């Protein structure tokens, strides 16, 4: 299973694996829930109260570069390896990630993408997350046993990570497609950003594909044919390189997952995303129908 796992696994499949006592060194489940402050939810507390049996909690605000002034920027290879090793994950472990979002997925694709960035292709997103898990009547628990630590060796493909300087250069040469996963209002500049001292708007030349649109109302991911159609209608060429962005590099990974399901596995993430761009960019590089960035 190591290098050929599906990007998505069904709740029924995971429930059967749990029934067979398969959760262990070869299969680990991670609740990777994370929410913006406006949601007024504490994912760690929610995890202690209710989670999928056998799951551990993956905190993107802990497994990150804590020296950065921007939220949950990517950790080093060493820090990632140490963090996931403590969760009982080795290089031959199949990892299944989910979150408890009402959308069906919110932050899980970010953790899926992180594992792949650090050289671990044996990772899947639980299709529909906790939303579908509960809807299908599968069990939850408050019990948690810390897994035995494992050795994980990380090997990052840093070409998948784009910096402010990379994106600024692309504004000029327009070699790569930049796709933004935020809501249309935040992208256009007509709805407020959730972070202080940040106005809405977008990077010049960016294309908007709001992340909830990749999922059905049930929470399940749309099928590849429909995803293909969405990219085509948005004007995104899946035969060309794609860089993705959002508020802080989390929901951007929904675009990476959708493109992967369409046969485009190498989507790059602008890790600083809009938080960094608005902070550092010149006013003329903040495209907005609203206030924009003042000189």
Strands of the chain, DSSP E: 8-9, 27-31, 55-57, 94-98, 123-126, 161-162, 177-180, 207-208, 242-245, 268-270
DSSP secondary structure letter of residue 254: H
- Chain center to CA of 295: 33
Q: Are 103 and 215 in contact (CB under 8 A)?
A: yes
- Give the residue among 293, 294, 277, 292 at the shortest CA–CA distance from 171: 277
Q: How far apart are CA 124 and CA 17, in angstroms?
A: 14
CA–CA separation, 282 vs 125, rounded Å?
37
Of 117, 68, 118, residue with least CA distance to 272? 68
Q: Pick the catalytic residue: 63, 64, 246, 253?
A: 246
Active site (annotated) includes residue 246: yes
d(CA 234, CA 10): 28
Side-chain-side CA neighbours of residue 138 (13 Å): 22
**Please, what is the Cα angle at 210 between 208 and 214, to 5 degrees?**
125
Q: Where are the alpha helices (DSSP H) in the chain?
A: 11-19, 43-49, 77-86, 108-117, 129-135, 164-173, 184-188, 224-234, 252-261, 273-280
Instruction: Tally Cβ neighbours within 10 Å of residue 31.
Output: 27
Residues designated as active site: 246
């Amino acid at each position: 299973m190591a290098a050929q796992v599906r990007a998505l696994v069904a709740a029924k499949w995971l429930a059967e694996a749990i029934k067979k006592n398969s959760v262990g060194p070869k299969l680990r489940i991670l609740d990777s829930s994370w929410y913006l402050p406006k949601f007024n939810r504490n994912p760690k507390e929610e995890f202690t109260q209710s989670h999928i049996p056998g799951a551990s909690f993956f905190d993107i605000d802990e497994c990150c570069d804590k020296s950065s002034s921007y939220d949950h920027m990517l950790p080093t290879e060493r820090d990632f390896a140490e963090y996931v090793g403590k969760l009982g994950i080795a290089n031959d472990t199949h990892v299944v990630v989910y979150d408890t979002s009402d959308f069906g997925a919110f932050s899980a694709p970010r953790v899926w993408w992180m594992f792949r960035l650090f050289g671990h292709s044996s990772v899947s997103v639980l299709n529909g997350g906790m939303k579908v898990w509960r809807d299908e009547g599968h069990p939850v628990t408050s019990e948690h046993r810390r897994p035995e630590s494992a050795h994980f060796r990380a090997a990052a493909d840093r070409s998948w990570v784009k910096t402010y300087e990379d994106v600024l250069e692309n504004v000029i040469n327009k070699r790569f497609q930049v796709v933004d996963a935020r809501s249309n209002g935040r992208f256009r500049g007509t709805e407020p950003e959730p972070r202080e001292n940040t106005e809405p708007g977008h990077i010049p030349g960016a294309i908007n594909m709001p992340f909830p649109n990749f999922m059905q109302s049930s929470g399940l991911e749309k099928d590849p044919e429909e995803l293909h159609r969405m990219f085509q209608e948005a004007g995104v060429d899946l035969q060309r390189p794609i860089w993705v962005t959002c508020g802080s590099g989390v929901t951007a990974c929904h675009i990476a997952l959708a493109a992967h399901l369409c046969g485009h596995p190498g989507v790059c993430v602008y890790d600083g995303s809009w938080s960094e761009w608005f902070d550092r960019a010149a006013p003329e590089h903040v495209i907005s129908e609203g206030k924009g960035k003042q000189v």
